[in-house]
């Protein structure tokens, strides 16, 4: 078993993070607040936070079942959640996790809870078999998603809902996009093989790594030979039907992965917008690393009067803000933060975005609507509303010939695409 000299410290740090996430804070924001001293163990903290948050419903149900004194204090409960994940991860011996969780109580100044933490964790180890039978009958614990989420996915995908939910609880795959302006996919794949890095070729410039690894170990990454981008996200550039000389707008461009892919595929003039000033800087950094150029602007795509120069665009990529339900394994706090009521709010924002962008699309031009959602309320329903409201809009088949909605699986995340033409 792995030694755990710092497990108590990690459990304490993660418990603080999880308690704030459960109260409504973003995991990314909380990780960004880590003290410099904690950065040395960032990898372990990511494993603990992500692993625990993926178990929505399960860890909550276990604590509720074993607690004899009602729901515990939020910080105590969060400590139990991540201790339960540690027990089930197999990385540490059972007695080590229990002892380190009790020690973490002291680090969190929760001294009166030491006996309670010890009792709940040991109760879990004694009653694991009976608990598993109980959890199998509780949908949120079994499928590890909120109940409303389970119902929506089940209704939308009656034949695939269980696989879609299961994929949302897994570690995500890692895919690469080879920069064709610098090297061919075949050549780069061979370079990786020479270094013992196994990949599978997937569509055009896409390589799927057999095992994730740090970008520092990717040859030529710093020189712009390759980028990390999910295979589902790579569909966007191929579905936009690009041609040399076109004016292209990437309306919600940060962090720049799709923007740079457009420029790698075709000699087009790209304007990249994002409403978040901090994320705009990430677009520029991505382009610089790849040796590409675009007009990058901090602007709100829903307000063209503040940034548009009056020249229509031939192509528009609208990668709209959404629930991110298709990438929940990468952002597991989404399962804890989203509410069923969010779908209507996002759908309205998406309609506002598409309506604004329709004004700056040239006649005969094409707009690609994209989300990383698997909820039809944000996808087909939004496209249908646009086509109903804009008489010159018509939906086209996607150029890659694939279906509009991809559900997450072991090779890619969940993405939706719809190509809409502005008839002349």
Instruction: Quote the crossing angle between the two packed helices 94-107 and 7-22, to the nearest 10°.
Output: 70
The number of residues in the chain equals 424
Domains, in order of start, for the chain = 7-144 (1.10.940.10), 174-229 (3.30.70.1170), 231-422 (3.40.50.150)
What one-character-per-residue DSSP string does 382-423 give? HHHHHHHH-TTEEEE--TT---SEE---SS---EEEEEEEE-
Element (H, E) at 357: helix 342-358
In this prediction, residue 38 carries a pLDDT of 62
More confident of the two residues 38 and 15 = 15
Has residue 3 got a pLDDT over 70?
no
Active site residue 322: no
In this prediction, residue 70 carries a pLDDT of 80
**Radius of gyration over alpha carbons of the chain, in Å?**
23
Q: What digits encode the pLDDT tens for the residues 267-297?
A: 999 999 999 999 999 999 999 999 999 999 9
Has residue 372 got a pLDDT over 80?
yes
Has residue 350 got a pLDDT over 80?
yes
In this prediction, residue 203 carries a pLDDT of 83
In this prediction, residue 41 carries a pLDDT of 76
The pair of structure tokens assigned to 413 is: 């995340």
**Nearest alpha carbon to residue 371 among 278, 258, 260, 294:** 258
Q: What digits encode the pLDDT tens for the residues 127-150?
A: 999 999 999 999 999 999 999 999
Q: What digits encode the pLDDT tens for the residues 306-339?
A: 999 999 999 999 999 999 999 999 999 999 999 9
Determine which one of 105, 239, 322, 372 is catalytic: 372
For residues 78-105, average pLDDT: 96
Has residue 1 got a pLDDT over 50?
no
Q: Considering the entire predicted model, what is its pTM?
A: 0.94
Residue 90 backbone zone (phi > 0: left; psi -120 to 50: alpha; other: beta): left
């Amino acid at each position: 078993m792995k030694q755990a000299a710092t497990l108590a410290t990690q459990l304490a740090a993660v418990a603080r993070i999880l308690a704030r996430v459960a109260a409504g804070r973003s995991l990314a924001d909380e990780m960004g607040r880590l003290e410099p001293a904690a950065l040395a163990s960032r990898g372990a903290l990511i494993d603990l936070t992500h692993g625990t948050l993926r178990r929505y419903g399960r860890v909550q149900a276990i604590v509720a079942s074993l607690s004899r004194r009602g729901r515990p204090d939020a910080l105590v409960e969060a400590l139990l959640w991540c201790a339960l994940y540690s027990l089930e991860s197999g990385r540490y011996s059972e007695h080590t996790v229990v002892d380190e969780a009790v020690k973490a109580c002291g680090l969190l100044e929760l001294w009166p809870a030491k006996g309670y933490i010890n009792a709940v964790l040991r109760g879990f180890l004694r009653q694991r078999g009976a608990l598993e039978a109980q959890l199998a009958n509780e949908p949120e614990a079994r499928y590890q998603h909120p109940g409303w989420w389970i119902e929506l996915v089940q209704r939308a995908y009656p034949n695939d809902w269980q696989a879609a939910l299961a994929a949302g609880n897994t570690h995500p795959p890692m895919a690469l996009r080879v920069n064709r302006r610098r090297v061919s996919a075949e050549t780069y794949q061979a370079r990786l093989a020479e270094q013992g890095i196994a990949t599978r070729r997937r569509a055009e410039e896409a390589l799927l790594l057999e095992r994730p690894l740090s970008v520092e170990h990717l040859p030529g990454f710093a020189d712009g030979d390759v980028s990390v981008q999910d295979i589902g996200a790579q569909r966007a550039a191929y579905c936009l039907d690009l041609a040399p000389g076109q004016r292209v707008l990437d309306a919600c461009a940060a962090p720049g992965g799709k923007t740079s892919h457009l420029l790698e595929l075709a000699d087009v003039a790209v304007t990249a917008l994002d409403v978040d000033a901090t994320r705009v800087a990430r677009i520029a950094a991505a382009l610089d690393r790849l040796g590409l150029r675009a007009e990058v602007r901090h602007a709100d795509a829903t307000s063209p009067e503040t940034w548009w120069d009056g020249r229509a665009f031939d192509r528009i990529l609208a990668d709209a803000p959404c629930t991110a339900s298709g990438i929940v394994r990468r952002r597991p706090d989404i399962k804890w933060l989203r509410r069923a009521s969010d779908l209507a709010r996002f759908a309205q924002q998406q309609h506002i975005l598409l309506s604004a962008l329709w004004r700056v699309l040239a006649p005969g031009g094409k707009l690609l609507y994209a989300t990383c959602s698997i909820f039809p309320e944000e996808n087909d329903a939004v496209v249908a509303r646009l086509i109903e409201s804009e008489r010159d809009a018509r939906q086209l088949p996607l150029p890659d010939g694939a279906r509009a909605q991809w559900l997450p699986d072991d090779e890619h995340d969940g993405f939706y695409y719809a190509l809409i033409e502005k008839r002349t």
